[in-house]
Chain A
């Protein structure tokens, strides 16, 4: 696992999975009461970037499962999860960070939603993804910042 993560940094600097200075490694992240108190990177997220990661099929691909009126220019929105319209009215940033990092710990064990910043406790991960997270720590922060813009009230 660690070996893979190291390789990832060298060859694909963008992909997550490895801790850089000031960034929490996936296994070091603690979810308490459904929350992660502080930024994984110590830096704030960028909502404009987050909107991109959210829609990108190779990254968040959140639209695979969620509808989101803010991205109406994208053609297909999935119906597997709840709509994310107004999600910022329902959750705090600390809660949203926990849901994106590991919904199984933040929401409930049986949820279908993948954990986007987790490398352990998985089964038969393809070699090219082993030891890597779906989103990097900064991408998680960006997505959370973007989710905070989805207000209805």
Chain B
């Protein structure tokens, strides 16, 4: 990150103190479990050292995520658990009827998403997998991408992988999607003509007006955002970042956002899953 800003200037202007990488040393511990927020990825990753978005948040926001009773995302996790056990669709079955205890059957899933779906022969996100199973097995209607049901279910399933390292594959058929995602990541868009990389690779750790830029990682999604007063999906965040630069976002669930999700998940390989994380 650029370090050409004279500290003297900052002090003399009397700007609001940026939390900076002082928090780099803070440890994320939830329910006695330490979650990895920093990973030495080495040369193959353009970032070298990878940080979770949690690292860059204010202490108040960080603390909210460290206690499941304080974490506002848990309302949705509970709703997800309820849905897990609710019979629906023409099968008259619940998720639990087929998958049993989610803490066993769903463990590790968030960490490897998005992943290839053999039967559909395409790359699928967690949302896609959920809707596929609803239609195929449960005989139920698919949920809308940003519906409370989908957010609750992705939060509940994601939680079952909490603390596990992100570990998506970019081999085999994923490789082509990976390249597409990478392309999108470095493509400038919008009236402000900025690429994801301009903010999250070139400037993480720097303030952009009142926001402290992170590396734009997705290991904590779906996330509870204080600004949204609610949960949001990975693709909602992508959409928000594209609108912010006055661009036309791709649609949630589009091939473009799925490819971008794979690319971002890979950039964060090695970071612990934090779902449901809390951000401002």
Contacts and interface: CB of A to CB of B under 8 A. Distances in A.
Given A115-B193, A125-B247, A134-B191, A76 B5 contact: no
B69 interface: no
Nearest to B188: A123
A77 interface: yes
Contact of A77 (B192, B198, B207, B246): B207
Per DSSP, chain B at the interface is: loop
B190 A124 contact: yes
Name the residue in A64, A77, A79 with the highest tally of chain B Cβ atoms < 10 Å from its Cβ: A79
A129 B5 CA distance: 32
Q: Which of B5, B193, B247 has the most CB of A within 10 A?
A: B193
A79 B208 CA distance: 6
Interface in A106-153: 112, 114-115, 122-127, 129, 132, 134
B209 A122 contact: no
A75 interface: yes
Contacts of A75: 15-16, 210
A78 B209 contact: yes
B59 interface: no
A152 B192 CA distance: 30
A4 to B, nearest CB: 12
A14 B207 CA distance: 30
B203 A80 contact: yes
Contacts of B246: 125-126, 129
B13 interface: yes
Interface residues of B, number: 33
Interface in B14-34: 14-16, 18
B191 A125 contact: yes
Nearest to A128: B246
B13 A82 contact: no
Nearest to A61: B209
A83 B11 CA distance: 13
Given A112-B198, A125-B247, A83 B209 contact: no
B13 A122 contact: no
Given A125-B247, A126-B246, A126-B248, A65 B202 contact: no
Contacts of A7: none
Contacts of A134: 191-192
Interface string B219-255: 0000000000000000000000011001110000000
Contacts of B5: 67, 79, 82-83
Nearest to B3: A79
B206 interface: yes
Contacts of B189: 123-125
Nearest to A65: B208
Interface in A65-119: 65, 67, 69, 72, 75-80, 82-83, 85, 104, 112, 114-115
Contacts of B188: 123
Nearest to B190: A125
Contact of A124 (B9, B198, B248): B248
B75 interface: no
Contacts of B64: none
A25 interface: no
9 contacts: A72-B13, A77-B13, A78-B208, A79-B203, A80-B203, A112-B202, A123-B190, A123-B247, A134-B191
Given A67-B9, A80-B2, A134-B191, 19 more contacts: A67-B13, A69-B9, A69-B12, A75-B15, A76-B16, A77-B209, A78-B208, A83-B9, A112-B194, A112-B198, A112-B202, A112-B203, A115-B193, A122-B191, A123-B193, A124-B247, A129-B190, A129-B191, A134-B192
Interface of B: 2, 4-6, 9-10, 12-16, 18, 187-194, 198, 202-203, 206-210, 242-243, 246-248
